Amino acid sequence: MKRILDIITANMQQAFADAGYDAAFGTVTVSNRPDLCEYQCNGALAAAKQYKCAPIQIASAVVAKLDANDYDMVEAVMPGFINLKLSGSFLQRYLEEMRLAEDFGVEKTGAGKTAVVDYGGANVAKPLHIGHLRPAIIGEALKRLHKFMGYNTIGDVHLGDWGLQIGLIVAELQVRKPDLPYFDPDFTGEYPKEAPFTLSELEEIYPTASAKKKEDAEFAEKAHVATFELQQGHPGYRAIWQHIMRVSLEDLHRIYDLLDVHFEKWLGESDADPYIPAMIQRLKDEGHAVMSEGALVFPVAEEGDKKEVPPCILVKSDGAAIYATTDLATMVQRMQDWAPDKMLYVTDKRQNLHFEQVFRAAKKGGIVRPETELGHVGHGTMNGKDGKPFKTRDGGVLRLEQLISDMTDFVRGKVVENKIVSDDEVDETTAKIALAALKYGDLSNQPTKDYNFDLERFAAFEGNTGPYILYTIVRIKSILAKFGAWEHLSIQAPTNASAKDLMLSITKLGPTLEAALNTSSPNQICAYIYDLAGCVNKFYHETRILGEEDGNLKNGYIALIGLAKRILEACIHILGFSAPEKM
């Protein structure tokens, strides 16, 4: 469906032409004075310079050429603005078309394209902590947004499952349990099916080993050797690695499920490893990769760089491939297997420089096509309520699972206290409200900005919160349930100001989703549904809906709130949560 702005701009351009002026002056924008009008055109002011006459004269001539049926008000005002208010019949036609169209007629700008969203950023053998909340939530929302806009989407968690972190665990395990068959070079049997550690042991082994590495040079060397041998295919170490993967992945799946975050691909750094040698060879052959101080690097600085962009290091002087190498090799794999048109990475914004280097190397080295869109969504930090870094009472890093359960417990308290649902529905209702509180609390902020986590505020049923949005949906659902079948009812022209405001808000769905996509800003969707929910509630308070005696009018009201409900639900689905039946 065409956007309203495009429709009225086309009409305005026609009116300029009909009045004898250049159509190019007919651009219409959303009004910056909503108290005066809904849309405006300032073209007469610019045209006046070219035609050497008073702007108001042009504006008046243009206004006379517009189709009055489309507007409740169309005015030429001094010095030469054209102010517009859409007519009820225009809005009725437009919303009825939205109601009947697939996905509300939003233009599928991604049709035929593939987008990879790389988000989550989990590492095996380490528990997810609160730093993993934002990349999971923002990445999931951006992926769903791309999908809604027509892209074929692939979400890839890009696990940190390779390299020194695994070598450290192997080395520490060898210190603790030297008799395990994995360490016996003469062992020829089958390795045990059971992992030689539980999840909680594993989560303790890694930090211990990591700390030891800093103090104990001999141990550090052992870990490096183990890493190298693992990557060369040492069978015992590979078997330990498989155990680490299985134990960790089970837990990662469980926690991402709690967040309703789902990856199409659980690939990791290890999956990129086989692509490294050929890639390095080609980059060397083509002269992109050069030796510098014993390391193989890819210079990516460009003329006009405002700050220094150091070369991308491909192979360190000790022979190890690193983070950037893996990211480049992962692009090789993605281009080969999926040929994406777009790759979007969601990580902490402190990785900005890394992605700048990697993207430049990918383009210069021909790893992606010149037109492949590469984007990094660098998110800010989630701080405590006091604005200080989020810490547990003993100064440690809070686990993501703990944060989720803190929110869930708080919301459960409200659900039980307010006797919202019967006992057997408490868990499900609680989970939905808690997830909305957590996700909306995050997503309503611009991704790049830091924000403060405030459990009580995020979980409030009033204000700019997830639960408020859910509450609005639940309110509409209950009216619709009392009414009966409603899906077939048509939209009617507005009969009061709050109905018209609601209709205008609904028309902004398409432009909002498009802007959110183009700027990777789910917060724009939050701002939109907050406005839409406000319009619904105002309409509800100012209009007798079920009590309306005129059956025709009542049907129109029901159709309107039904459409609003479907749009709110579609938007929260993109954001990654859903509404309960009662609240």
**Positions that interact with ligand ARG (CB under 6 A):** 118, 121, 123, 158, 160, 327, 345, 347
For residue 208, the 8-state DSSP code is H
Tell me the closest approach of the beta carbon of residue 345 to ligand ARG, in angstroms.
6
Tell me the closest approach of the beta carbon of residue 272 to ligand ARG, in angstroms.
9
Tell me the closest approach of the beta carbon of residue 65 to ligand ARG, in angstroms.
55
Using the minimum distance from each CB to ligand ARG, give the nearer residue, 330 or 492. 330
Using the minimum distance from each CB to ligand ARG, give the nearer residue, 38 or 273. 273
Using the minimum distance from each CB to ligand ARG, give the nearer residue, 18 or 203. 203
Tell me the closest approach of the beta carbon of residue 295 to ligand ARG, in angstroms.
20
For residue 290, the 8-state DSSP code is E
Tell me the closest approach of the beta carbon of residue 327 to ligand ARG, in angstroms.
5
Question: What's the CA gap between 278 and 365, in Å, rounded?
Answer: 13
Using the minimum distance from each CB to ligand ARG, give the nearer residue, 121 or 576. 121
Question: What's the CA gap between 238 and 226, in Å, rounded?
Answer: 10
Q: What is the strand order of the sheet 152-156 is part of?
A: 152-156, 114-118, 342-348, 373-379
Tokens 């490893």, residue located: 273
Are 137 and 365 spatial neighbours (Cβ–Cβ below 8 Å)? Answer: no
Q: Which residues contact 483 (CB under 8 A, 6 or more apart)?
A: 546, 558
Q: Which residues contact 34 (CB under 8 A, 6 or more apart)?
A: none
Which residue has its beta carbon closest to ligand ARG?
Answer: 121
Tell me the closest approach of the beta carbon of residue 555 to ligand ARG, in angstroms.
51
Tokens 């957590």, residue located: 438
Tell me the closest approach of the beta carbon of residue 293 to ligand ARG, in angstroms.
25
**Torsion (CA) 462, 466, 468, 473 in degrees, nearest 10:** 180
Using the minimum distance from each CB to ligand ARG, give the nearer residue, 158 or 500. 158
Are 128 and 400 spatial neighbours (Cβ–Cβ below 8 Å)? Answer: yes
Are 549 and 42 spatial neighbours (Cβ–Cβ below 8 Å)? Answer: no
Question: What's the CA gap between 249 and 236, in Å, rounded?
Answer: 20
Using the minimum distance from each CB to ligand ARG, give the nearer residue, 91 or 272. 272
Using the minimum distance from each CB to ligand ARG, give the nearer residue, 330 or 523. 330
How many degrees, rounded to 5, is the angle at CA 550 between CA 549 and CA 551? 100
Using the minimum distance from each CB to ligand ARG, give the nearer residue, 330 or 524. 330
Tell me the closest approach of the beta carbon of residue 564 to ligand ARG, in angstroms.
38
Tell me the closest approach of the beta carbon of residue 132 to ligand ARG, in angstroms.
8
Using the minimum distance from each CB to ligand ARG, give the nearer residue, 271 or 327. 327
Task: Render 22-78 in DSSP notation, one character per residue.
Answer: -GGG--EEE-S-TTT-SEEE-HHHHHHHHHTS-HHHHHHHHHHHS-GGGEEEEEEET
Quick one: which H or E segment has residue 314? strand 312-315
